[in-house]
Structure 1
Amino acid sequence: MKKIYTKITAFIVIAILICACNAVKRVPEGKLLLTKNEITVNDKVIKDENVFNQLYQKPNSTLLGYRLRLNLYNLANLNPDSTYRAKFINNPEKFKRKSKWLSEKQVNRLGKSFWYHGIHDFLRRTGEPPIIIDKERADKSVLRLKYYYFNNGFFNVRAAYTIDTLKLKKAKIKYTITSGNAFFLDSLRATIATPVLDSLYQINKFNTFIKSGNQYKTEDFDNEKNRITTNFRNNGVYNFQPNYVTFDIDTIKKVNQANITLMIANYSYQDGDSTKTAPFKIYKISDVNIYTDYSPSLNTLNIKDSTTYKNFNLYSQEKLKYKPKAITNAIFITKGGLYADNKTVLTTRYLNNLKIFNYPSIQYEVDKRDTTTQSLIAKVYLTPRKKYSFGTTLDVTHSNIQDFGIGLSVSETIRNVFNGAETLEIAARGNIGSSKDLANPKNNFFNVSEYGLDLKLNIPRIFMPFNTDKIIAKSMIPSTLITVGFAKQRNIGLDKENFTGALSYNWTPKINHTARFDLFNTQFVRNLNPTNYFNVYGSSYNALNEISKAYNTNTSYYNNAIDKDLLIEQGTRGFTNDVLSGNAAFLKPLEAADFESVKSIEERRLRLTENDFILATSFTFSKTTKKDLTDNNFYLFKTKIESAGTILSAFAKTTNQKKNVNGNYEIFNLEYSEYVKTEFDYIKHWDLSKEKILAFRSFFGIAIPFGNSNYIPFSRSYFSGGSNDNRAWQPYGLGPGSSGALDDFNEANMKIAISGEFRFKLLGNLKGAIFADAGNIWNVLDNVVDEKSTFTSISDLKDMALGTGFGIRYDLSFFVIRFDLGFKTYNPANETNKRWFREYNFSNSVLNFGINYPF
């Protein structure tokens, strides 16, 4: 209790220090602290962020209206060295007294200590110096405001500013803008000197950004320049640049209207000391030369091997190590075709995607053999990466299974393994961990382990016995991925062996679109220790044990005559068999509800302990508008459909295979899973400026068993809760429905999740967030009959849980460290009139740790 009071007192003292800090402490005499910018346009105060972004000076940042960073900066000692010197160096007596209980060397080091130097460096870096009003910057701001409105069609704009003093050393700047009337585009015409360019322009002019009736915007004219340039350069006009496009804007004798003339002159070039002009030419490709082992460090190429394949010339300074088709498949520049920028970009992307070369270089030169000088030689320079590369990764982990874990993985990558630009990766991984929740009879610290081996073969084309170019063109950069994996766990749940294999096809139908087709994705899960079930799933054991105490008469089933707890495995299995068979003598007649409970416990045990075989086919498609990592205004849509067991069932029926006693087909003496599964995931981000972002995510997934199955395998089911889901609940701790998460690992075959998050800047790289997560999981169309766990109608949406909370994140540029604190706002597991805010407190909150943002 004493420690708590000390912390509270310290917190209050710090808060008082910060709040009592003088905001103008660092403002020099005669200067003013900028507290606010106010912009008035045509006598109306505006809040348009685009307009405010034109200003050179903005007030100090605030957190909930308080200038936290400014006050932190004001707390810092800007010259800590002089403070230390005045206290000790310039005071020999004090230095001598201090040296009696600290050594002289230690006293000398005090100047660089945290108290004298470090804390002030931290406050200075974290804080923000006061923004002093600078009239020169205000003048520049006025010019930028005028340019902004001029570029948006207000040609007669006027702007000025005044400085209003508010208090001692504080002031605001008021910008006044009179925009005048906007100008609109009237007639449009084009004057193009080169006839072939005029023809190209006329064919595509319907895509123009400059249209009659539109308000004038400089941005539209810049976009039109780039559109015309892209069109020309993708149709053979090699020498064309945006600066050849000019516009004449005529506003004479017009009332707020402008006539536009687009002008493109002839090609201008230097011939000796004089400048000449000539019509632009359409260039064709006369040769495509590929240098497969180019080295930038060498000035000359010493070609020793070469070949020609489908009009491509391949050269090598050593023996050619690649099948020609593997390289030429990635080249979209063709002999006899027109020069095109987009083909150059596409070729560069494809070659880079092969992952066997460094970033390629593509150059063009005029073919001197052509007397018309309308031919280009394309030269593709490829620098191979090392054939073999070795990598290691060391991870320290924490999860809901392991309190502490250490993982090590080693990998070997072999490039161009079959001389067809294929990449083979062999990876071995191992993990040891500590868990106080799992069986540990010898009390070892590292009591759980896992190891595995994975092989991945990437083929840079669709690997099929027939040609697929008409279905998936090579411009979509297709590839084939073949994977095989094995993993084994010890002392983790039921101890599993996991065998996986997949044949996947990947391609990009358009820019920012991706598609993946898994022809087959197979998984075989073998439980090595199924008798450990009730040690792992404690809630199932507790429920069964509680029922047994009311009925059991067999003394060999329990540990002692006092506790009468069921022994694992002898007691749990024996009592379950007695109940389900109905042949045993009990203390009292067995009630129907208890019989159903035991039956349900046994069904779940059988489902989670039996071995699983899954042979699935799936298709995944995603689309995003995200341009790069810094883009905070985008959406992402992803959908997947998966079918498992259908091929096996079709084969079994065709070949008249016999069903087992359960009425199901088997493969390798094992009932395989059969289901159809579909998912929809949508993410949207809105950039609200000033590093404020609103993020939204919605997810819906459902897996329906049929034919050979009446439930979904655990590995393909859904769970709710955790750092990337509903953050007010632990992983697997929410649902299904309103059942109250009675099992240890709660899962179901349908899921709905909706999340919203408002992100903002706190201090420097420290970010904050306020979030709300809604959703749940349900059982539907499977063998679960519990009404609380199943979804039967739209009214069951009332069982969607709601968690709200806040988080802090630290941005390290390459990844984000995240802490989120979630509170149970609406808990469907409670009684109907006790669902809202009954657990909205710190004792029932959940602290989540994550890497990067949740969505």
Structure 2
Amino acid sequence: MKYNSSKITLLIVITAIIYSCSPLKRVPDDEMLLVKNEIVVDNQKVTNDSIQVLLYQKPNSSFFKIPIRLYLYHLSKKDADSSYVAWLNKKPNRKENLIKLLSEKQVNRLGESFLVKGYSNFFKKIGETPVIIDENKIEKSKKRLNGYYKNIGYFDNQVKAEIDSVGKKQGKVVYTLVKNEPYIIDSIASIIETKVIDSMYQSIKKDSHLKLNKKYIVTDFENERKRITTHFRNNGAYYFQENDINYNVYQDTITKKLAVDLKINDRDITVDEQNFQIPHKIYKIEKVNVYLDNDAIKNKSKITDSITYKNYTLYGSKKIKYRPKAITNAIFVNKGDYYSDISRFQTARSLSSLNTFNYPNIDYKENKDSTALVTSINLSPVKKYNFNASGDFIHSNIQDFGIAGNLSVTFRNVFRGAELLQVSTRGNIGSSKDLANPNGVFFNLSEYGADAKLTFPRIFFLFPTSKLIRKEMLPTTNLSVGLFRQTNIGLDKENFSGIIDYNWIRKVKNVSKFELLNLQYVRNLNIGNYFTVYGSSYDDLNDIALVYNENINYENENGDGNLSPQGAVSFIDDVINGNTSLTSNNDAFQTVRSIGERRQRLIENYLIAASSFTFSTTNKSDIYDYNFYNLKVKLESAGNVLSLLSNVVDQPYSDNGNKTMFGVEYAQYIKGDFEYIKHWDLGRKRSYAMRGFVGLAVPYGNSNSIPFSKSYFSGGSNDNRGWQPYALGPGSSGGINDFNEANFKMAFNAEYRFPFFGQLYGAFFADAGNIWNVFDNVEDKSYTFNGISSLKDIALGTGIGFRYDFSFFVFRLDFGYKTYNPGRIENERWFRDLNFSKTVLNFGINYPF
């Protein structure tokens, strides 16, 4: 009762605050607060944001129809300075007494303080002034609506506006528009002064955006101007500009027909302050010069070295340290070709992708006696060596105190072919009082490793690939190796990785990656620490052992009957081998066996040799495009090469009867991922986003399960936000393990995003999905996917989130709740965890998808 009364009191207080801040508080008696705009076109209401945005005045923003920012503005003082002065002079001698007590300077500063003036400025900044209906702005809105419909062919449209009262000092503006009959293009003629330009136009006019018997739309004219200009400038018309194209449109007001003249003028030039027009020319590239350092660019007299290679001439103020082919292979401007904007753009993009030069400057100089251009490509090299170092202090549930450091060095142009070598080391030493520490040292845990990556700006393969992967696709080859070791952390590990991959961009938005080899070898160094790391597994096992364990040697030294870590392993063996009273038809037996199988899987060393292909595409045009999709597909296969080698090289079998390589069982599986993300721009900074993901990894041959590092998990800030990472699933098992994973996953996310005020945004979200075991060695039906019936195991998490946009990144805080929890019994799955005390907090950088 006490808890409920406190909530009721809080609700009453909040309600009182809201109603005390009337939205009409600062609306003059002879004015009206704008509460709604209404647009009626041909007797139909229009709610389209692209039309609403044309209006000069819009009502104050609201959240669930509550104008929160207007209320915040009303919390400020109208004139804080005058109020303070009036307060000082309200009582005789108040100001003089304060000056005696504080000093005159302090009294003046008090007037600038947060309590007097600062909080008012704060609420004015984050709030909104009341939107008062303004007839001048209504007239401007009418003109905008009139212009908008003229631009889509309704030249004779008529717009009216009326102000309607909807309450005391509140009103709405109703805009009524009659479109009338649209104008139709009846004829199109071209008037082109330069013959060569006229010939080029005639060859492409069939693809024109302007069509006979089509309604007039101004964007068609704009797009046609861009289309023509793009074609001309990619076919030699170096000086051609969009403003060289003009339209004359003649309208028949009786028939509503339009006659369109497309006119392309000759080129305007200025000589000795005199303006002339000369015919356009088509230019070819006469020569391509490449300047490889700043001194060579700025002062041609300092050039001391030059190389001519395949119609390119390279210049340097010092001895040239680049192989010519490495530079010219990134150049698409060729001697004898027509001038082309596309070639210019491709050259700049390709040279930039080498990460060896700053963004290139490409100049063209006209040979006055001919239609030829001399091209100068100016390249300013970045530093050959780049050194970075960083450090950090760490505190976590594993480390009470830790010191981490990273050191990286970048070497450019390693083999004179614009190659990039990146070498990095990382390390961490820490202290933990929970770990065994027989020598009493302070730093009793450590991590350290090194990585090296070599990037070639071309494809190295067994056979030529230039016809399949052309140089304009910016192909690269990456060779990576890494070594990593950790001690006294979890199971402790040694990890070796080696990767050979190829990347290319088929189109600007279509990216492909082929991993020829991704080799991973992991060796666990401290498997005796398993039940310390996986505490929930130990707790479940220990509860069973307290009933069925009959060997006191398995107990710890505390004499409380609990299992020691090594005793836990021995107890599992005894149960499975039938050395206890626990029989196989008992549920506890299945639990022990499951814990034992999971332990065996996670402590095993593993070797993965995989190949994969990843394709991703998007139609997003730029960072301001909020209406787009992303698609990513990945296929991966592992173990086939090692399987072939094992048939040639005599290697022993493991205790499980599986093949080994270098004494380690190798993984064999095939895996596929599919992810689709779609965003819809709803206008006024509102958007809707959804994501769908399906992934399946199937073991075969030498494996009956998927390595932990290649399996799927569910939950977390970028997945189902009603659960913590690894806490959901598999299936209806209830996430009883410390790290729940499986080899099949489905995930679906939806999010509605909207502005609060300033750079603060909100979101409502719903996340659905789960993981299951399928086609592997797990047989428990609560873990496995069993067809359509398993869809009832799809979990649903919902909640609300807040995002603050710092421009260069977005900070995210989400409050997630378990709306449908398949881990509960069937009649208790819905809404049992919708409680503030069971909120799952998710912090993140940028949006979840």
Instruction: Give the alignment's TM-score, normalised by structure 2.
Output: 0.93
Distance 2:649 2:307 in 1: 51
1:794 to 785, 788, 792: 788
Equivalent in the alignment of 1:462: 459
2:387 to 387, 390, 397: 390
1:727 to 721, 739, 746: 721
Within the alignment, does 1:113 sit opposite 2:109 as a pair? no
1:510 to 507, 520, 523: 507
Within the alignment, does 1:829 sit opposite 2:826 as a pair? no
Judge conservation of contact 2:404–2:428 (CA < 8 Å) in 1. Answer: yes
The change in CA–CA distance for 1:810 and 1:564 in structure 2 (over 3 A counts) is same
2:543 to 532, 538, 546: 546
Judge conservation of contact 2:651–2:662 (CA < 8 Å) in 1. Answer: no
Larger mean Cα displacement after TM superposition, 178-187 or 244-253: 244-253
Within the alignment, does 1:813 sit opposite 2:797 as a pair? no
Judge conservation of contact 1:680–1:699 (CA < 8 Å) in 2. Answer: yes
Distance 1:253 1:141 in 2: 26
Distance 1:342 1:438 in 2: 62
Shift of 1:424: 1.9
Percent identity for Structure 1 against Structure 2: 50
The change in CA–CA distance for 1:362 and 1:297 in structure 2 (over 3 A counts) is closer
Equivalent in the alignment of 2:595: 601
Q: Which amino acid aligns with 1:410?
A: L
Other structure's SS at 2:382 match: coil
The change in CA–CA distance for 1:587 and 1:616 in structure 2 (over 3 A counts) is closer
Distance 2:262 2:357 in 1: 43
Distance 2:96 2:430 in 1: 54
Judge conservation of contact 1:476–1:507 (CA < 8 Å) in 2. Answer: yes
Within the alignment, does 1:558 sit opposite 2:552 as a pair? no
Other structure's SS at 1:837 match: coil
Equivalent in the alignment of 1:623: 617
1:575 to 558, 571, 579: 571
Judge conservation of contact 1:78–1:124 (CA < 8 Å) in 2. Answer: no
Shift of 1:54: 1.3
The change in CA–CA distance for 1:596 and 1:388 in structure 2 (over 3 A counts) is same
Equivalent in the alignment of 2:32: 32
Q: Which amino acid aligns with 1:572?
A: A
Distance 1:283 1:297 in 2: 24
1:413 to 401, 410, 413: 410
Shift of 1:782: 0.7
Judge conservation of contact 1:810–1:818 (CA < 8 Å) in 2. Answer: yes
5 Å matches for 1:684-695?
684-695=678-689
5 Å matches for 1:428-467?
428-431=425-428, 449-464=446-461, 466-467=463-464
The change in CA–CA distance for 1:526 and 1:256 in structure 2 (over 3 A counts) is same
The change in CA–CA distance for 1:456 and 1:560 in structure 2 (over 3 A counts) is closer
Larger mean Cα displacement after TM superposition, 434-443 or 150-159: 434-443
Equivalent in the alignment of 2:323: 323
Judge conservation of contact 1:823–1:839 (CA < 8 Å) in 2. Answer: yes
Shift of 1:182: 1.3
Judge conservation of contact 1:438–1:536 (CA < 8 Å) in 2. Answer: no
Judge conservation of contact 1:400–1:731 (CA < 8 Å) in 2. Answer: no
Q: Which amino acid aligns with 1:580?
A: I
Larger mean Cα displacement after TM superposition, 740-749 or 354-363: 354-363
Other structure's SS at 2:294 match: coil
Larger mean Cα displacement after TM superposition, 663-672 or 161-170: 161-170
Distance 2:399 2:295 in 1: 49
The change in CA–CA distance for 1:321 and 1:6 in structure 2 (over 3 A counts) is farther
Other structure's SS at 1:839 match: coil
Deviation digits for residues 516-553 of structure 1 (CA, Å, limit 9, x no counterpart): 11111111112121100011112221222223233322
5 Å matches for 1:177-576?
177-252=177-252, 255-272=255-272, 274-294=274-294, 298=298, 302-368=302-368, 371=369, 373-393=370-390, 407-431=404-428, 449-464=446-461, 466-559=463-556, 563-569=560-566, 571-576=567-572
Larger mean Cα displacement after TM superposition, 224-233 or 188-197: 188-197
Equivalent in the alignment of 2:711: 717
The change in CA–CA distance for 1:183 and 1:434 in structure 2 (over 3 A counts) is farther
The change in CA–CA distance for 1:367 and 1:763 in structure 2 (over 3 A counts) is same
Shift of 1:561: 9.4
Q: Which amino acid aligns with 2:25?
A: K
Q: Which amino acid aligns with 2:16?
A: I
Judge conservation of contact 1:155–1:182 (CA < 8 Å) in 2. Answer: yes
Within the alignment, does 1:744 sit opposite 2:741 as a pair? no
Distance 1:787 1:400 in 2: 34
Distance 2:404 2:9 in 1: 42
Distance 2:430 2:215 in 1: 66
Q: Structure 1 regions of 5+ residues with no counterpart?
A: none
Other structure's SS at 1:251 match: strand
Judge conservation of contact 2:492–2:524 (CA < 8 Å) in 1. Answer: yes
Q: Structure 2 regions of 5+ residues with no counterpart?
A: none
2:673 to 664, 669, 679: 679
Judge conservation of contact 2:575–2:582 (CA < 8 Å) in 1. Answer: no
Larger mean Cα displacement after TM superposition, 211-220 or 502-511: 211-220
Larger mean Cα displacement after TM superposition, 725-734 or 168-177: 168-177
Distance 2:694 2:585 in 1: 39
Other structure's SS at 2:451 match: strand
Matched length: 849
Distance 1:122 1:7 in 2: 29
Deviation digits for residues 805-845 of structure 1 (CA, Å, limit 9, x no counterpart): 11111111111111111111111112222211122222333
Distance 1:56 1:71 in 2: 22
Judge conservation of contact 1:439–1:535 (CA < 8 Å) in 2. Answer: no
Q: Which amino acid aligns with 1:69?
A: R
Q: Which amino acid aligns with 1:623?
A: T
The change in CA–CA distance for 1:670 and 1:161 in structure 2 (over 3 A counts) is same
Other structure's SS at 1:418 match: coil
1:764 to 749, 758, 761: 758
The change in CA–CA distance for 1:751 and 1:286 in structure 2 (over 3 A counts) is same
The change in CA–CA distance for 1:110 and 1:297 in structure 2 (over 3 A counts) is farther
Equivalent in the alignment of 2:661: 667
